Structure 1
Amino acid sequence: MTEVANAADVSRTRAWLMAARPQTLPAAAAPVIVGTGLAVCDGVFAPLPALVAFVGAALIQVGTNFANDYFDAVKGADTEDREGFTRVTQSGLISPAEVKRAAAVTFGLAVLSGTYLVYVGGVPILAIGLLSVASGVAYTGGPYPLGYYGLGDLFVFVFFGVVAVTGTYYVQAAAVLADPLAVGVPEGTVTAAALLASLPVAAISTDILVVNNVRDMETDAEAGKTTLAVLLGYRWSRVEFVALLALAYAVPAYFWATDFGPTVLLPLLTLPYAAAVARTVCTERSGEALNPALERTGKLLAAHSALFALGLVV
């Protein structure tokens, strides 16, 4: 374990921060940044819906982190042999009941913050919001936990990428173009450009999970947690990582080749950094090497998304 912690040595505040895992928040901010950049580009920027979308996304991210911490511990997936960052439930820093309660409260706050977005975007946002919260719980909880049956990568790609970016664009476009409390999807609120722009965020967000699962492959297999990495093995998991990176850089090139100016190529400035992370993922197995790679993949997501949004705005 890379971040060994004793209950006696860790304050309650630090323990809760460890459980919330603020280092994962780029996965919540990135889709909002890209969706907002495209909204500015298309002349449908609405600041309040964009801000509330970020708050909701961040709460769902933190709630999912709490739920993962709790369910992985009670299911026995987190053990002393795990090489990842300290999990507060498994390590005894916070009781299981408290972590479970924190997950419920955080998801509840996400639903509460989403009521304004439901007013702006109507029934589609209500359905997406409830499905996102349910999936956050079902990632490691419930009768068929997605992460335990090789579906975690698909979950992240869809909800932290495609749904999050297009949803951010949708609520802003709906605020500008449509009446409140729409039943259907108003015209001009879901575009092909928004769907395409979501793919780099989806790809790099999924790569964060790939690094995590490659690092934990052996302990997950022993615990009966069948992630996609366990199913694919080291070689094909690394192929997946590189293929998702390729998708992340192909999309800005496609935008440039169609109707957008050369500034959409700004994410290519992060290619050397991405190559360095990929080199580590493709050659290392230990937590000592892959934990820093996990953090660097999160930073790559933030940088790529910020530059892509900037390029769209300019």
Structure 2
Amino acid sequence: MSSATQASQASAAAASFSQDKYRFFHALRPFSLVVALTSAGLGIVLGWPHAQAPWLLAALILIASLLLQAGVNLINDYGDRHQLDARFPQVGVQTRAALSQSIRFNFYAGLVCIFLATLLGIFLAALSGITLLWIGVIGLAGALFYTLEPINYKQRGLGVISVFWLMGVLMVLGAYFVMSQHLNWQVLWQAIPLSCLTSLLLLSNELRDYERDLCEGQYTLSVRLGYHKGVFLYYLLCGLTFISTLILALQAWLPYAPLLLLSLLALPAPLKLLHAPPQQRLALTPLTGRLQAIYGGLSLLCYGLSL
């Protein structure tokens, strides 16, 4: 890549930054909360027939899952506090200080959310058994070290892989265990399609910010692979989602599976943006989140209709 091209990308990346990114509502990333709702919701629905107090348990699981997801989102930008001078050279010192304060506020708010989720997790573990405690410990460690040192999955290019297990498979299994008080390997397979979409949502975020991350030296998986290979991975995860759905249907583990074909209607819009210029790629992540919300909602309906 020529120095002129790198300079052009750096300039475009700097121009794309918005101070609104660090406002609480934006840092919360409401569209991504669909991950907690669908993953925890799937475990709840699958474990519903085995629960003695399903409504109470379901409410506690959803609250804990949403708090954990919100906490992860809010602490995600904490590392940006060292890059404000480079990101916002056009603003004054006082404005950058205010942005730094917003980042810190979001970080501490995120820790509070994670702490509350932990308390709920301990309570649920007391009701369900020590297995949930180990699941919770793994999930908590994954949440804290997604962007925090010394592990920082995102910077090591492991974010897309880690959320598949932590916010996908593990969250489904954890919710199922609370409801049923036992584990079932069939549930692990039933969690695969939604887990692929969870990884897809994070990958869409990396592809949206590819030029910016490249200029800043953020070594996400997409930066390590290159944009075109990242796009191929996006297509691959889409394919795996629907291939695994088909396998579940053929195994008779997914009732009313044809309903999920409706989610294909939400697929063309994000696929089209994969080949758009960086400035037009901003909607890629919300549109991918919409795909997950539609697929997840239809998936819960499919399993719910069989109860």
Q: What TM-score bracket applies, with the shorter chain setting the length?
A: 0.7 to 0.9
In structure 2, the partner of 1:144 is: 151
Rate the CA distance shift 1:170–1:262 in 2: closer, same or farther, 3 A: closer
Which residue does the alignment assign to 1:177?
Answer: none
Matched residues in 1 for 2:184 and 2:83: separation? 41
Distance 1:130 1:260 in 2: 29
- 1:276-308 CA deviation, whole Å, 9 max, x = no partner? 322322x1241x432212101111111101111
The partner residue of 2:287 within 279, 288, 296 is: 296
The residue type equivalent to 1:227 in the other structure is T
SS where residue 92 of structure 1 aligns? helix
User: Could you say which residue in structure 1 is the equivalent of 2:199?
Assistant: 206
Q: In 2, distance between residues paired with 1:77 and 1:273?
A: 39
TM-score (norm. length: structure 2) = 0.84
**2:7 corresponding residue in structure 1:** none
Mapped pair 1:53 → 2:61: yes
Alignment match, 1:179: none
Give the conservation status (yes or no) of the 8 Å contact 1:208–1:298.
Answer: yes
- Inter-partner Cα distance in structure 2 for 1:48 and 1:131: 24
Give, in whole Å, the separation in 2 of the partners of 1:106 and 1:213: 24
Distance in 2 between residues matched to 1:153 and 1:263, nearest whole Å: 29
Taking the aligned partners of 1:99 and 1:199, their CA distance within structure 2 comes to: 32
- Distance, in Å, in 2 between the alignment partners of 1:191 and 1:250 is 21
Aligned to 1:180: none
TM-score of the aligned structures, taking structure 1 as reference length: 0.82
Q: Could you say which residue in structure 2 is the equivalent of 1:4?
A: 18
| 1:156-305 map, 5 Å | 156-174=163-181, 189-260=182-253, 263-281=256-274, 283-286=275-278, 288-305=279-296
Residue identity matched to 2:276: E
Q: Which region of structure 1 is more displaced relative to structure 2, 89-98 or 207-216?
A: 89-98
Unaligned runs of 5+ in 2: 1-14, 90-94
Q: Deviations over 1:8-60 (max 9, x none)?
A: xx9xxx932222222211011011222223224xx224222222111111111
Runs of 4+ in 1 over 4 A off after TM superposition: 75-78, 88-91
The Cα offsets for residues 149-188 of structure 1, whole Å up to 9 and x where unpaired, read as 11111111111111011111111011xxxxxxxxxxxxxx
Cα 1:312–1:218 shift into 2, 3 Å: same
**Same amino acid, percent of matched pairs:** 26
User: Is the Cα–Cα contact under 8 Å of residues 37 and 313 in structure 1 kept in the other structure?
Assistant: yes
